[in-house]
């Protein structure tokens, strides 16, 4: 994966230089307009920065886009991208199973500024179809979803959006570009919390939007003014993290499958959600749409919320923590961590019972993880 990693012209350095500067000086005044218009050179690091641009080129190559915009968080990427295409009176159609922050943006924030939103049942594509309107400008989906691991048929969603002149935005954080490239199925913008698999080491917050050149330009113009640009130092760390992403994610795919199969056989587990299992209701779609089934799974403990809490605190290898996509296995209980923006009624409607546990599988030995989960289940 050497895209956008040229040897440094001056020194031959095989790693990208970190241009940790807020601004860029000029010796010729006539160069200023060229830099300001983006034709040549740089002006100010909230607009563009050479280290960040290297990351953006690599992201574009990985997702099959024309360009990319890097952000200071996944939510900055999502909110800035969504706002790039909307004005008062427009409509956004989305699935109901969304990351908590995205849910708050679509359900609470956008309606407050005159943008209507509809959240359709995720499993039922007909619900999405019947939700589209003449003023729908954005169709927004995640696949697989957080934390329920439901899938959306991306090809059908793209057709639906394009039929009404709307754009399809896909949050590809859970799959990672190693397992799925939504643009292959017609997505217009691919969004990432780069905090997760792209960086892979749970040591920074970053985000990205990948799209065609003209669409990315639009997003970058909005980013200039809203200001959620990524700083060069974390951009360099994401570039470094991405060098091992393929190895990490392939291992995570394998271990997640082992863990999902183990949990499916446990009497203490009521249900396992993993697209790689043949029992997953959308396994056939996953096999068509994804190259690997991912390192994320969730399961329901047989019992109460307290039993689920007992399980999470009994783990010794896996860590009870929010977030995902790093080298350490993390577990979380969405009802009291990532999905607190929803009421318990809304969570129940989305299939997030209080006993649901989400697992982000790391790169530990698979047998160690299975042993850890076995002993923690025994403690319930």
Ligand X SMILES: Cc1ncc(COP(=O)(O)O)c(C=O)c1O
Tokens 């090809």 -> residue: 155
b/e per residue 211-233 (b: at least 16 CB within 10 A): beeebbbbbbebbbeeebbbbbe
| Nearer residue to ligand X within complex by CB, 146 or 329 | 146
Cα-only R_g, the chain: 21
For residues 218 and 209, the answer to whether their CB atoms sit within 8 Å is no
| Nearer residue to ligand X within complex by CB, 78 or 161 | 78
Residue in 149, 154, 229 with CA at minimum distance from that of residue 187: 154
Tokens 């609470």 -> residue: 108
Q: Chain centroid to CA 19: how far?
A: 26
CA distance 275 to 374: 22
From residue 333, alpha-carbon distances to 17, 207, 354, 364 in Å are 40, 23, 8, 21
**Shortest-Cβ-distance residue relative to ligand X:** 74
| Nearer residue to ligand X within complex by CB, 196 or 268 | 196
Which residues lie across from 207 on neighbouring strands? 71, 193
| Nearer residue to ligand X within complex by CB, 207 or 376 | 207
| Nearer residue to ligand X within complex by CB, 99 or 311 | 99
Q: The tokens of 234 are what? A: 């974390």
- Altogether, the residues listed in the chain come to a count of 380
| Nearer residue to ligand X within complex by CB, 105 or 376 | 105
CA distance 259 to 237: 30
Minimum Å gap between C-beta 268 and ligand X is: 26
For residues 57 and 3, the answer to whether their CB atoms sit within 8 Å is yes
Catalytic positions, written as ranges = 46, 99, 171, 196
Residue in 167, 178, 171 with CA at minimum distance from that of residue 144: 171
| Nearer residue to ligand X within complex by CB, 67 or 171 | 171
| Nearer residue to ligand X within complex by CB, 68 or 377 | 68
Minimum Å gap between C-beta 103 and ligand X is: 10
Minimum Å gap between C-beta 140 and ligand X is: 11
CA distance 76 to 70: 9
- Contacts with 141 (C-beta within 8 Å, 6 or more apart), sequence order: 94, 95, 152, 154, 157, 168, 169, 170, 171
- Contacts with 28 (C-beta within 8 Å, 6 or more apart), sequence order: none
- Which residues are near ligand X by CB under 6 A? 73-75, 99, 101, 142, 146, 171, 173-174, 193, 195, 205, 207, 323
Minimum Å gap between C-beta 298 and ligand X is: 12
For residues 23 and 44, the answer to whether their CB atoms sit within 8 Å is yes
Minimum Å gap between C-beta 106 and ligand X is: 12
> Residue 18 — left, alpha, or beta (φ > 0 → left; ψ -120 to 50 → alpha)?
beta
From residue 221, alpha-carbon distances to 21, 43, 341 in Å are 20, 14, 30
């Amino acid at each position: 994966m050497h895209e956008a990693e040229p040897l440094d012209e001056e020194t031959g350095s095989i790693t990208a230089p970190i241009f940790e500067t807020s601004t860029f000086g000029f010796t010729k005044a006539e160069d200023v307009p060229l830099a300001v218009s983006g034709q040549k050179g740089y002006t100010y690091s909230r607009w563009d920065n050479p280290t960040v641009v290297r990351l953006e080129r690599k992201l574009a190559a990985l997702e099959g886009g024309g360009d990319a915009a890097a952000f200071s968080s996944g939510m900055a990427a999502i909110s800035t991208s969504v706002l790039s295409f909307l004005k008062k009176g427009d409509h956004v159609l989305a699935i109901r199973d969304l990351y908590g922050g995205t849910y708050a943006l679509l359900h609470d924030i956008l309606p407050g500024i005159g943008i209507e939103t509809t959240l359709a049942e995720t499993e039922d594509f007909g619900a999405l179809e019947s939700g589209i309107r003449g003023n729908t400008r954005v169709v927004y989906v995640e696949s697989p979803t957080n934390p329920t691991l439901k899938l959306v048929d991306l090809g059908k969603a793209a057709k639906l959006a394009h039929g009404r002149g709307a754009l399809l935005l896909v949050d590809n954080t859970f799959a990672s570009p190693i397992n799925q490239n939504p643009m292959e199925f017609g997505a217009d913008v691919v969004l990432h919390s780069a905090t997760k698999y792209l960086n892979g080491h749970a040591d920074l917050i970053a985000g990205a939007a990948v799209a065609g050149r003209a669409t990315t330009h639009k997003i970058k113009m909005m980013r200039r003014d809203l200001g959620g640009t990524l700083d060069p130092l974390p951009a360099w760390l994401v570039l470094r993290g991405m060098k091992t992403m393929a190895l990490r994610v392939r291992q995570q795919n394998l271990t997640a499958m082992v863990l999902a199969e183990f949990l499916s056989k446990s009497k203490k587990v009521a249900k396992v959600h993993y697209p790689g299992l043949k029992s997953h209701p959308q396994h056939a779609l996953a096999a068509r749409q994804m190259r690997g089934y991912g390192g994320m799974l969730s399961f329901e403990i047989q019992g109460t919320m307290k039993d689920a809490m007992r399980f999470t605190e009994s783990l010794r290898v896996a860590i009870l923590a929010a977030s995902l996509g790093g080298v350490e296995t993390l577990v979380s209980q969405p009802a009291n961590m990532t999905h607190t923006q929803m009421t318990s009624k809304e969570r129940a409607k989305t299939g997030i019972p209080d006993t649901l546990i989400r697992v982000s599988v790391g790169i530990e030995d698979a047998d160690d993880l299975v042993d850890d989960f076995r002993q923690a289940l025994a403690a319930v």
